[in-house]
Amino acid sequence: MNEHDDDRRRLAVIGSGPAGLTAAVYAARASLNPLLIEGIDAGGQLMLTTEVENYPGFIDGILGPELMERMRKQAARFGTEFMSGNITAVDLARRPFPITVGARTILADSVIISTGAKAQMLEVPGERELLGHGVSTCATCDGFFFRDREIVVVGGGDSAMEEAIFLTKFGSKVTVVHRRDRLRASKIMQERAFANPKLDFLWNHKVVEVLGDGSVSGLKLEDTQTGEPREISADGLFVTIGHFPNTALFEGQLEMIGGYIATKPGTSETSVPGVFAAGDVVDFRYRQAITAAGMGCMAAIDAERSLEEHPVTETAS
Ligand code: NAP
């Protein structure tokens, strides 16, 4: 017996957002006895949202944290084992793959990575407190709540332009606040944004505080050239200044594209056999709970088939 035998698993799922939990539901029902390792931000980005109205099956909407709780219970019902802890190392060069969590080392025949991404925030007073109460990082998710309201979008990249253009369908007024006097966005997105009569631009300004008691009512801005302060009214603030995929643990071990894990098109297979990836850690295009869940399902099916076709017999030394 190897000293690690107790911690040998057929499948470890890393991450507990919609992708990881859906992967666990499928893997548990396929009798893979998955171990799901969740970090300090258990539940992922949906834990930071309030009402979710576009997840199919919930006619009247559902709160983000409640949706995650339901997915977690569903995964547990079929026998998923949960483990909380910070993973300090993963070695994808040896199989079974050693995963170090505190003092424990798990040896996993197969791994599904669903560690998600984080939206970059402005880190100004009021922003965190009002997240989900006027502050949002996703126009597709929350634009609908801002019908006929005043919306501010921060950022000058393609994401900011895409979100701002989308938000003009809802807002009475949509203003892009950008810290410089020119956009970073691609030419075509700039042309589309400038051609949209409902979009206003406030150049050379940064948000220094989000104002509001219970919900956003305005923003404190500062001129980035003169330092002059200014206040504007706003009902919604969309922070669209970039995302960070949570991939630090896997750097140099897996092929990546712009920091996101690369998968073989149409599958969840990464560049390492036996390692699969799903959700926002892969997806910089859709970033939705439902697409993450779908990708989690794909990863579980891919893992199950690969374990069936290529059973792992050797033991890591
Ligand atoms: P990005 O290109 O890095 O742009 C981030 C924007 O946010 C920049 O304008 C930046 O200002 C601003 N910013 C960053 N930190 C800030 C801060 N603390 N305060 C105020 N402003 C801040 O990010 P992205 O727009 O998310 O795009 C990421 C990648 O995805 C890009 O390659 C993009 O082309 C791609 N993308 C493509 C599409 C599309 O083609 N439809 C859609 C979305 C994303 P500065 O300009 O001053 O640096």
pLDDT tens per residue across span 114-166: 999 999 999 999 999 999 999 999 998 899 999 999 999 999 999 899 999 99
Predicted pLDDT at 1: 36
Backbone angles phi, psi at 135, to 5 degrees: -95, 130
Atom of ligand 1 at shortest range from CA of 160: 25
Any catalytic annotation for residue 297? no
Atom of ligand 1 at shortest range from CA of 180: 47
Where in the chain are the domains? 5-118+243-309, 121-239
- Contact in structure between 316 and 94 (CB atoms under 8 Å): yes
| Least confident segment among 48-62, 186-200, 222-236, 266-280 | 48-62
Residue count (the chain): 317
- Do 5-118+243-309 and 121-239 share a fold? yes
Tell me which of 121, 184, 189 to substitute to probe ligand 1's pocket, judged by most ligand atoms within 8 Å of the beta carbon: 184
Residue nearest to atom 16 of ligand 1 (CA): 241
Computed over every residue of the chain, the mean pLDDT equals 94
Question: Could you tell me which CATH number the domain at 121-239 has?
Answer: 3.50.50.60
Average pLDDT over residues 294-305: 98
- Residue 317, pLDDT > 80, answer no
How many Cα neighbours within 13 Å face the side chain of 269?
13
46 band by pLDDT with thresholds 50, 70 and 90:
confident
- Contact in structure between 221 and 205 (CB atoms under 8 Å): yes
Indicate the CATH number of 5-118+243-309 among 3.40.50.300, 3.50.50.60, 3.90.330.10, 3.40.50.720: 3.50.50.60
- Residue 65, pLDDT > 80, answer yes
- Residue that has been written with the tokens 């548990």 in this structure: 28
Predicted pLDDT at 44: 82
238: closest CA among 183, 145, 302, 160?
160
Residues 6+ apart with CB under 8 A from 307: 10, 11, 32, 109, 110
Q: Cα(first)–Cα(last) distance of the chain, in Å?
A: 12
Give me the DSSP letters along the chain: --TTGGGEEEEEEE--SHHHHHHHHHHHHTT---EEEE-TTTTGGGGG-SEE--STT-TT-EEHHHHHHHHHHHHHHTT-EEEE--EEEE-TTSSSEEEEETTEEEEEEEEEE---EEE-----TTTTTTBTTTEES-HHHHGGGGTTSEEEEE--SHHHHHHHHHHTTT-SEEEEE-SSSS--S-HHHHHHHHH-TTEEEE-SEEEEEEE-SSS--EEEEEETTT--EEEEE-SEEEE-S-EEES-GGGTTTS-EETTEEP--TTS-B-SSTTEEE-GGGT-SS---HHHHHHHHHHHHHHHHHHHHHS-------
Any catalytic annotation for residue 138? yes
Q: Which two tokens stand for residue 305?
A: 């088939």
Atom of ligand 1 at shortest range from CA of 241: 7
